[in-house]
Structure 1
Amino acid sequence: MAEITQSTPPAVNRNNRRVAFMGLGIAMGMVGLAYASVPLYQLFCQATGFGGTTRVATESPKGIIAREMKVRFDSNVANELPWKIQPAASITDKIGTVDTVNFVAQNLSDKPVTGRAIFNVSPEKAGAYFNKIECFCFTEQTLQPGETVDMPIVFFIDPELDSNNELDTIKEITLSYTFYASDNEGS
C-alpha cells in the first residue's frame, strides 16, 4: 500500500510564520512596556504630583503668604543598605518660604557604598505643591567607609496650595524618604 503524504501549501506556511512573528512581537512589546512602566510612571507622578510625588522647582515661589505649614521629615533604610540616616528636624514656616534642611547619613560598612533615595509626600494631594530646588535625592550618593555626610534639601511649598479648598484643613506635610542600595558599586 502506498503511503500518502500531505504537504502544507506555501500560503499556509507564510500565514503561520506571520502569526508567529506577530505573537513574538507582541510578547516583546509587552516585556518592553513592563520595563518602561516604572520610569514612565515616575515621570507622570513628577509632572502631576500624583501619589504624593514632589515637584522639582527651578525658581523660588512668587511670594510668601501668612498661612503656616509644619513639614515633618521621615526616613527608612532598606535592609541591604548599611547606612544610618538621621532625618531633618521638623520645621514650621510660612508657605512660600524657601527652607533648607539636612538629613545626616553615615556609612556603617568598611567599604564604599552607593545609595539612592526615593521620596513621597503625604497627604498625597499636597505633593503637587511641594517643590524641591535642590535635593540629595536627585542623584546617587556614594559614602566612603565610616563616612558621615550632611545631605541638604532646599524646598518651598507653593502658595497656590492655599487656593485648593481640599487642603484647607492641612496643617502638616510629611516628606518621607526610603533609601536603598544602588546597582552601582561604590567608587
Structure 2
Amino acid sequence: MAISGPAKTVLQTVSVVVLMGGLAWASVPFYDWFCRVTGFGGTPGQVSANSEGILDQTVTVRFDGSLNDGMSWEFKPVVNEMEIRIGETGLAFYEAYNPTDHPIAGQAAYNVTPYAAGAFFEKIECFCFTEQVLAPGERVEMPVSFFVDPEIVADRDGKFVHTITLSYTFYEIDLPEGYAALDQDSQTNLN
C-alpha cells in the first residue's frame, strides 16, 4: 500500500516532531551524565575512593553556599576556605537551618570554578548526592569529602589553577511521602 503525497508529508512531519521531542526529552539527562563524566561546565566527578597519591603542591578550596528563590532555609559553609595538598582528602561542612514551622525538603545543585578544575575535583561523599529534609527549627552540619586529582598538574589549563571554588545552591523540592504526611498533621494541629 503506497502512501499518497499529502499523507506522506503529514507522516514525515509527525515523525520529525516525535523525533525532536524524544531528543529534547533525552538531552537533559544526557547532558548531566556528560558533565559528570568529563567535568565539563565545572561539574565535579564522583568517586568511591581516596586519591592514589598526594603531591607537595597545594591548592586553596573556597566554599560558597546560596539558596534558590523561595527556599526558606539558611545555608552557608562552616569555613570559607581551606588549603589542601593536591590528592589529599579534604572534609568540609555546610550548615543548613530551617527557621519555619514546617518540614522542608531540599536538593543541592553544585559546580566548581574555574571550569578547568571541574574534571579534577572529585567528591567521595556529599550531602548533594541525596535530598535533604529539615524539620521545623532543625539545624544540621552536612559534610562533603573531596580531593583534587593529581592529574591536574599535567593538564594544559589545570596546571595554572591555584584556587578552586566549590559552590552549592539549595532549591526546594517536594517532601518525600512520609514527610508529607507529617507536614499535613502539623498543619492540622496548628488550625
Same fold, judged at TM 0.5 (above) = yes
Aligned to 1:38: 28
| Secondary structure in structure 1 of the residue aligned to 2:49 | coil
Cα distance, 1:147 vs. partner?
1.1
Aligned to 2:12: 22
State the percentage of identical aligned residues: 40
The runs of 5 or more residues in structure 2 that have no matched partner are 180-191
Aligned to 1:4: none
Q: 1:38-117 alignment to 2 at 5 Å?
A: 38-89=28-79, 90-117=81-108
> Could you tell me how far apart the structure 2 residues matched to 1:82 and 1:170 are?
35
Structure with max Cα Rg = 1
Which moved further from structure 2: 125-134 or 19-28?
Answer: 19-28
Cα 1:114–1:95 change in 2 (3 A) is same
Give the aligned residue type for 2:64: D
Cα distance, 1:108 vs. partner?
2.2
Aligned to 2:116: 125
| Secondary structure in structure 2 of the residue aligned to 1:108 | coil
Cα 1:29–1:85 change in 2 (3 A) is same
Give the aligned residue type for 2:24: A
Cα distance, 1:33 vs. partner?
2.1
| Secondary structure in structure 2 of the residue aligned to 1:168 | helix
Cα 1:97–1:11 change in 2 (3 A) is closer
The runs of 5 or more residues in structure 1 that have no matched partner are 1-9
Aligned to 2:187: none
Give the aligned residue type for 1:176: S
Runs of 4+ residues over 2 Å off in structure 1: 14-19, 165-169
CA RMSD of aligned residues (A): 1.7
User: Paired residues, what number?
Assistant: 176
**CA shift digits 1:118-158 (9 cap, x unpaired):** 11111101010000000011111111112111111010111
Q: 1:5-20 alignment to 2 at 5 Å?
A: 14-20=4-10
